[in-house]
Amino acid sequence: MKTSLLRAALPLAALAVLAVVPVFAIDSFTRHLFIIAFIYAIIASNWNLSLGHCGVFNFGHLTFFGVGVYTAAIAAKTYGVDPWIAILLGGPAAAVAAFLIAAPVARLKGIYVVLVTFAFGQLVMQLVLSQSATTGGAQGMVRIPYLRLGDYSFLKDYKLGYYYVALGLLVVSTLFLKLVIDSPFGKSLKAVRDAEDYAAARGISVSRQRILVLILSAIFTGIAGGFYAIYLRVASPDVFGFGTLSLALSMVLIGGVGTTYGPIAAALALTFATEALAGIRGFEEARFIVIAVAMILVLRLAPGGLLRLLELLVPKSLR
């Protein structure tokens, strides 16, 4: 009983703290770091839906994010779509990309899933580079329209508006993930992950569940990509890069594969950690090596992730 109450209270307490952060962090740079952390948290937690809860080793997850970035950028800048709508368009566009990935890998296993999904991501990046007339090619797209609410400009409030939009997206994404994970569909995903043959024997379509989980994991990842483009006002092929992919994956693994809040906590911690390391002389380029070493140590010493480790450290009297 105490454990369930503690687990319910901690996320609410964390949300309350994040809601008042801008009151104390009045400089735009600190708020910017939180915004980037929220975006990474959405990416990592949704990646965890397919990787952690269904066991699909999808290395094309950042493709969904990139598709959202370019969908919003092209819609807002080229076609004049309202930036608020452009952000949301990233969701269905990423879902379509997820279906294109899911269809050929639904019946594959192991390393073959990794290879096909990674190759798909590289294919999309090459498509972006080749269609320079629309996407800007290697130079990307700049001066993308920004958010407004009537006469209120999001550019003139030290990122306060963007902070709460990013936090709101993270909250909605997390609630969506909770609904999926706690549903009968979510339980069937765990069956596919842990005992594929048994799940099939019980009438669960393994291929269908894999396709659906990839599509569901892409929706908010694409929306996060759309927000990223509108917030930074830039769309660059760098979003498909291996550095971004490895950082997001480290957030999933360090936070805890199969946990709901672990990747979110890791996203916040690693975003600020990488920024702190970048400020130390000699660690500008080595910071990702430090993160990789941390990931290896966590996987070796605490395979369940840091969040599960913290749960074990809680005194039994409080459980």
Q: Where are the domains of the chain?
A: 2-318
Report how far residue 55's alpha carbon sits from residue 257's, in angstroms, rounded to the nearest whole number. Answer: 10
Angle at 4 between CA 220 and CA 319, to 5 degrees: 130
CA 296 from chain centre, in angstroms, equals: 21
pLDDT, one tens digit for every residue, the chain (319 residues): 555 666 677 888 899 999 999 989 889 999 999 999 999 999 999 999 999 889 888 888 999 999 999 999 999 999 999 999 999 999 999 999 999 999 888 888 778 888 889 899 999 999 999 999 999 998 999 999 999 988 888 988 889 999 999 999 999 999 999 999 999 999 999 988 888 888 888 888 888 999 999 999 999 999 999 999 999 999 999 998 887 888 898 899 888 888 889 899 999 999 998 888 776 766 666 677 777 787 788 777 777 777 666 666 555 444 4
Report how far residue 172's alpha carbon sits from residue 18's, in angstroms, rounded to the nearest whole number. Answer: 15
Q: Where are the beta strands (DSSP E) in the chain?
A: 141-142, 148-149, 152-153, 234-235
pTM for this structure? 0.93
- 169 within 8 A of 227, measured Cβ to Cβ: yes
CA 259 from chain centre, in angstroms, equals: 14
Q: Please report, for residues 140, 168, 186, 257, the alpha-carbon distance to residue 53 in angstroms, rounded to integers and kept in the order given.
A: 35, 24, 8, 8
163 Cβ partners below 8 Å, 6+ apart?
Answer: 21, 22, 31, 34, 35
